[in-house]
Amino acid sequence: MAIEWYPGHMVAARKEAALAMRKTDVVIEVLDARVPRSSKNPVFEQLRKLNQRAALKILNKSDMADPERTRLWLAHYNAQPGVKAVALSAKKPNEVKRIPEYAKALAPHRNSALKPLRMMILGIPNVGKSTLMNTLLRRSVTKVGDEPAVTKMQHRHELGTGMWLTDTPGMMWPGIGEDIGLKLAATHSIGKNAYDVAEVATALGAYLLVHYRACLEQRFGEIPADCTGYTLLGVVASRRGFVARGGVPDLERTARSFLGEFRDGSLGRITLETPEDEDEDDAAAPPPAESADAALPDASEAPDGDEHPDE
């Protein structure tokens, strides 16, 4: 099943992000720690590398992710030049308040009112970017919602003397692959009308049976040895009493419930991919210049890179 979800406002937001990045010192990319590879927008990475900007990668929702796999992802990103990666929960102020400190370390030459540190925060929908912004600024500046694509415009905020932060809408990219689309649907980063809930739950169940079977059995009891992603829904329906008219398992209701329990952490701390998955993507990807140039406006339209940000 191919999943396509690229609302119209994201096209304009992508062009605005390309312009804003040219007067940015540090790009802060918020990823979902449960799917770091799938929640990484390749357009962001291409633009960042093309503009030679440092990156602070935030693995958000780390309290819901597999801690061992999170350690692998941090090591993976921290081995890359110009990149600092940290894992945190956007709902924990003591963790979020260190973000400016991390960003300063990536651009030590920008540390005064005349040369302020200019940060830009990016992320796909529903990775917790708005929650992080509100926690960081200690006030409600962006709308937070359970549905993806709540923020639709860029906003600029002063974090303190010599520090500015540009917030951007959550942005997807066209041509999402099937594997990534299913994972982003499972984490609720894609609008619910763009996918079949039972198909997404079946794919999630198949992965968990192989990699997190103990989590499933702790939640639902013993699982048959020959269980598949599809038959797992029938097992869960039976154990939960989800029955449709005629006494057959209500698989759609079961799928919604199953996805909900994954999303809220009830199934345990789970991560759906490893750095090896991303390495395979990078090996197959074209050079950045082949795909990033199309996303950039003409250079004559871009503001001066040293321009002082204003409201």
In tens, the pLDDT along 31-90 reads: 999 999 999 999 999 999 999 999 999 999 999 999 999 999 999 999 999 999 999 999
309 or 115, which is more confident:
115
**Residue 148 — pLDDT band, cuts 50, 70, 90?**
very low
Q: Where are the domains of the chain?
A: 8-175, 178-263
Q: Out of 3.90.870.10, 1.10.1580.10, 3.90.550.10, 3.30.420.40, which CATH number does the structure's domain 178-263 have?
A: 1.10.1580.10
Is 8-175's fold the same as 178-263's? no
pLDDT reading at 169 higher than 60: yes
**Residue 46 parent element (H or E):** helix 42-50
| DSSP assignments along 234-265, one per residue | HHHHHHHT-B-TTS-B-HHHHHHHHHHHHHTT
Work out whether strand 155-160 and strand 163-167 pair parallel, antiparallel, or are unpaired: antiparallel
Q: Which amino acid is at 135?
A: T
Q: Which amino acid is at 140?
A: S
Displacement of CA 167 from its chain's centroid (Å): 15
Percent of the chain with pLDDT strictly greater than 70: 81
- Tens of pLDDT, residues 259-289: 999 999 999 999 999 999 987 776 655 554 4
Question: Rounded CA gap, 203 and 182, in Å?
Answer: 7
Question: Rounded CA gap, 51 and 45, in Å?
Answer: 10
- Cβ–Cβ < 8 Å for 96, 90: yes
3-state secondary structure of 129: helix
Task: Find the length of the chain.
Answer: 311
Percent of the chain with pLDDT strictly greater than 90: 65
- So what's the pLDDT on residue 284? 59
- So what's the pLDDT on residue 304? 38
Question: Rounded CA gap, 43 and 124, in Å?
Answer: 11
- So what's the pLDDT on residue 269? 98
| Beta pairing partners, 122 | 29
- Tens of pLDDT, residues 12-21: 667 777 888 8
130 or 233, which is more confident:
233
**Residue 154 — pLDDT band, cuts 50, 70, 90?**
low
Work out whether strand 163-167 and strand 54-60 pair parallel, antiparallel, or are unpaired: unpaired
**What's 52-78 look like in SS3?**
CCEEEEEEECHHHCCHHHHHHHHHHHH
Letter string b/e over residues 119-129, b meaning 16 or more CB atoms within 10 A of that residue's CB: bbbbbbbbbbb
Q: Out of 3.20.20.210, 3.40.50.300, 3.20.20.80, 3.90.170.10, which CATH number does the structure's domain 8-175 have?
A: 3.40.50.300
Give mean pLDDT, residues 161-186.
Answer: 90
Give mean pLDDT, residues 111-132.
Answer: 91
- Nearest CA-CA partner of 117 in 163, 159, 155, 82: 163
- Cβ–Cβ < 8 Å for 275, 76: yes
**Residue 279 parent element (H or E):** helix 275-284
Q: Which two tokens stand for residue 45?
A: 């990475």
- Nearest CA-CA partner of 69 in 208, 276, 309, 294: 276
- So what's the pLDDT on residue 173? 86
Displacement of CA 281 from its chain's centroid (Å): 17
Question: Rounded CA gap, 139 and 194, in Å?
Answer: 33
Long-range residue pairs from 98-105, CB within 8 A, at least 24 positions apart, any chain: 99/28, 99/56, 99/58, 99/132, 99/136, 100/159, 100/160, 100/163, 102/56, 103/25, 103/26, 103/28, 103/56
Give mean pLDDT, residues 139-143.
Answer: 64
- Tens of pLDDT, residues 286-304: 554 444 444 443 333 333 3
- So what's the pLDDT on residue 308? 32
**Residue 171 — pLDDT band, cuts 50, 70, 90?**
confident
- So what's the pLDDT on residue 18? 81
Letter string b/e over residues 280-303, b meaning 16 or more CB atoms within 10 A of that residue's CB: eeeeeeeeeeeebeebbeeeeebe
- So what's the pLDDT on residue 139? 78
pTM of the model: 0.84
